[in-house]
Amino acid sequence: MQIKTANADTINEAAALLKAGGLVVLPTETVYGLGANALDGQAVARIFEAKGRPQFNPLIVHVPDIEAAAALVELNEDARRVAGKFWPGPLTLILPRREDCPVSELCSAGLPTLAVRVPAHPVARAVLQAAEVPIAAPSANRSGHISPTTPKHAAQSLGEAVDMILAAGVCDVGLESTVLDLSGPRPAVLRPGAVSAEEIAALLDCDVSYETEAKDNAPKSPGQLLRHYAPGIPVRLNAVDLHPGEALLAFGSDKFMGIKGGGAAKDLPDSARCNLSETADLHEAAANLFRMLHDLDHPDHKAIAVMPVPEQGLGRAINDRLKRAAAGAGETI
């Protein structure tokens, strides 16, 4: 990993690394972000690995302008108004994903919504222009550490886990972006930041609530307010064989997986059999997780039987999500 001062050459280098699936720490006006190509699920999986996050929380996807956002999410009238006033800037909007949204489902952690933002920092903007892909970027610190506002902080926290750190001094705002949820019936601020609920309420001429308090037990982070994705049919974990009528979510080879009462997994139709990674690669498995759960979540199946995933590295975050999926639909986390 190298810290490089941002200039035309290093910005192009960063963009090339991002396009190729690399991880680049880049300056934004809020805090330094840990960026990856949002279209590349395996690159996004590397973000969670580098941060050592034991959970897949949804990530903010950065785009160069409103029109680029409109290609990813359904921009309603309120969204166009707030974006028109506060973008580029420290405001993140949560909106329904478009049907044809090309961003990895890992960025949404399986939810039907996506968080998008147009950053104001000239270096972040230049990287977005050069990379020509949306960039997923949470704060560039290991899980549990504070958000970095200097390249040195990012380097101390993430070390060799990233391919490059693009340095441009201290961040102006030094605080994470305001997260505004415009996907529900009423606008709600999920995370306070530089743009206040009052400013948004004045612009939209309506009430904007703060939903940063616990809805159930005390949450430890804003991400815990999320409703998480859970399939509509039961999920059975650590399956070593299949029960009749179940669909299979495999990990590694399912060659020897049998169906109780007769038959083998390999004879199931494609619609009832997915493999997170035939080679037992955890990056590939993370990138496939939410899409495959969605694909197998069909009332024709009695349940989704999931083969064991090792509890190491990204496997911990994968198992965390699978456990939540198995615990039942519509639960808050």
Scan for tokens 């305001």, then name that residue. Answer: 178
What minimum distance in Å lies between the beta carbon of 36 and ligand AMP? 12
Q: Which stretches of the chain bind Mg ion, using CB under 5 A? A: 139
CA distances from 280 to 11, 50, 247, 263 (A): 35, 19, 19, 24
Scan for tokens 């590694």, then name that residue. Answer: 252
Which is nearer to Mg ion, 113 or 139 (by Cβ)?
Answer: 139
What minimum distance in Å lies between the beta carbon of 157 and Mg ion? 11
Measured CA to CA, the distance from residue 60 to residue 176 in angstroms comes to: 11
- CA max distance for the chain: 65
**69 is a site residue for ligand AMP (CB under 6 A):** no
**179 is a site residue for ligand AMP (CB under 6 A):** yes
95-131 CB burial, b ≥16 within 10 A, e <16: bbbeeebebbbbbbbbbebbbbbbbbbebbbbbbebb
Q: What is the per-residue binding string for ligand AMP in 1-40, x denoting contact by CB under 6 A?
A: ----------------------------------------
Residue of the chain from 192, 222, 234, 258 that contacts ligand AMP (CB under 6 A): 222
Q: What is the per-residue binding string for ligand AMP in 238-277, x denoting contact by CB under 6 A?
A: ----------------------------------------
Measured CA to CA, the distance from residue 150 to residue 179 in angstroms comes to: 22
What minimum distance in Å lies between the beta carbon of 183 and ligand AMP? 7
Type and span of the H or E element at 92: strand 91-96
Name the site residues for ligand AMP (rule: CB under 6 A).
57-60, 94, 108, 111, 113-115, 138-139, 176, 179, 190-191, 222-223, 226
